[in-house]
Structure 1
């Protein structure tokens, strides 16, 4: 069959996430930015909370909390980009 024939019959409401490369690139950029910001803020807040004690655990705990938040935000982003149909 002709590929243009398939494109004309494709329903926009049933289109998959992979049909639009710009949406995929937007998702990848959003996920990367979210992970970077969450880890950076977690490190910074953890080091500020730790203060001058100097044990080094505050920044590690902050990064761990930032990572957990990044995973949650990534799931939310994927669901938003896919219209709530994330598998």
Structure 2
């Protein structure tokens, strides 16, 4: 197997994506799943209240939760260096 100079320059440190596409795809999938789950759960909980706006309020609360969870998720994937 012939390795090029680019292979030697790849960063393999924990918390750095380097050139690893699988790790980047994992982050994208996790972010999408987190947003979808928070919005769906927020709507479901909000729809349990029989007011006319329960689902919308629940989705808004779910969106806020999704943003917060996504920030923590990105910090975890980047080794705590997300700013």
Identify the TM-score tier after normalising by the shorter chain: 0.7 to 0.9
Paired residues in the alignment total 81
Greater than 4 Å deviation, 4+ residue runs: none
SS of the aligned residue for 1:17 comes to: coil
With normalisation by structure 2, the TM-score equals: 0.83
Q: Which runs of structure 2 are paired with 1:72-83 in the superposition (5 Å)?
A: 72-83=68-79
Distance 1:11 1:34, change over 3 A: closer
Partner of residue 68, structure 1? 64
Root mean square deviation, CA, Å:
2.2
SS in 1 for 2:12: coil
Ranges in structure 1 where 5+ consecutive residues have no aligned partner: none
Deviations 1:7-50 (A, max 9, x none): 325553388424210010000000000000000000000011x1
**Larger radius of gyration between Structure 1 and Structure 2:** 1
Structure 2 runs not aligned, ≥5 long: none
TM-score under structure 1 length normalisation: 0.79
